[in-house]
Amino acid sequence: MKKKITILGSTGSIGKNLLDIINSDKKNFEIILLTAKKNYKVLLKQASHFKVKNIIITDQDSYKKAKEINTNNKINIFNDFKSFDKIFNSKVDYTMSSIIGLDGLYPTLEMIKYTKIIAIANKEAIICGWSLIKKKLDFYKTKFLPVDSEHFSIWKILKSEKIGDIDQIFLTASGGPFLNKSINQIKNANVADALKHPNWKMGKKISIDSATMMNKVFEVIEAKNIFSTSYKKINILIHPKSYIHAIVKFNDGTLQFLAHEPSMKIPIFNTLYFNYSRKIESKKININILNNLKLKKIDKNIFPVIKILDLLPSKTSLFETVLVAANDQLVNLFLDKKIKFDEISKNILKLMNRKEFIRYKKIKPKNIQDIHILSKYVRLKVKSLCV
């Protein structure tokens, strides 16, 4: 029997990688739904190639254009995620949630009801809405799988171990384009400099987050949520080659680490074939990298945003939404050349110490509206304070 699949955000890099994997094994999969925001041309091509009956395009203009040019009456085109009720009459086997930003939180929450397994590649959803996600996962008995390479690696290590047996978790960070640069070079970096990640091909937003190291701050929050642990047990190590993705030290004194080439296809493949035995084509073990890991602690003078980890509350709160929204707005300002690169870090640290934002450490999100309203407010506030 074919495995039924849904991909939320199929025109992005995660979605495309997943479709590449499925394409080599099409006989075993049936894609029920693909979604995109604006990229309707690519979405229609994907739907046609994989014989997908349902697509969702959330941007109104793109939706109208897709309706106009679609000559395949076998494809049902919807405009919002409220259409899930019309598309699903039973649970699909697997869903990839890879919509970028907080736009991905609502469909992620709604899709949990309609899927047996959900692989979430949306950082903002896990950071800001984990308490809401966890509640739905438990209610609908849906299996969650992490996709980000670091969290996938920890999950893979822990498959035969107990979370309570963990002494320390180490997430690795490449250091991005500014690892060996001086503070002055970083201060004067332009957009092109910040986008030159040495190991990964990523979108602009996540590339900038990698350059500041905010991406790793986010991953620490994700790890705390996903593995129900504390911040004091999570550490970050610089590893320039991005070959080892996580190290776990157990209470019995043993260490386990997980390595793979810097390709998102590997964690995506492993979530897709969860509990199945199948081989992926991959490179041979890189002995040179293993003999030259060059692991080291992060220099907070080079990456000052790491100091934010000392400000985070121990329990999930709306403070994480403040952090995500403030950072998003600052990255946009930098990409628009309205602030300098080092002002991202300087401003985020100032903002997270403001009394009006600190109070959110004690407030837990009750619903998705709490998160979206606060995010909108923070973005406007940051823009007014930092430009």
The 10s digit of each residue's pLDDT in 129-188 is 999 999 999 999 999 999 999 999 999 999 877 788 999 999 999 988 988 888 888 888
> 326-361 burial, b for 16+ CB within 10 Å, e for fewer?
bbbbbbbbbbeeebebbbbbbbbeebbeeeebeebb
How far apart, in whole angstroms, are the C-alpha atoms of residue 135 and residue 142? 10
* Residue owning tokens 């008995």: 141
DSSP string for 255-307: EEEEE--S-THHHHHHHHTTT-------PPP-HHHHT----EE--TTT-GGGG
Per-residue model confidence as pLDDT tens digits over 277-314:
889 988 899 999 999 999 999 999 999 999 999 999 99
Contact 114, 84 (CB under 8 A): yes
Chain position carrying tokens 């969860």: 274
Average pLDDT of the chain? 94
Lowest model confidence (mean pLDDT) among 38-42, 246-250, 276-280 = 276-280
State yes or no: pLDDT of 228 exceeds 80. yes
Share above pLDDT 90 across residues of the chain, in percent, rounded to a whole number: 83
Cβ 210 vs Cβ 217: under 8 Å: no
Strand partners, 5: 31, 94
Q: Which domains, ranges and CATH numbers included, belong to the chain?
A: 3-147 (3.40.50.720), 149-262+285-300 (no CATH), 313-387 (1.10.1740.10)
Distance CA 189, CA 211 (A): 10
What contacts 1, CB < 8 A, 6 or more positions away?
none
Mean pLDDT within 217-221: 97
- Segment 50-86, tens digit of pLDDT: 999 999 999 999 999 999 988 777 899 999 999 999 9
The first and second tokens of residue 269, run together, are: 């493949």
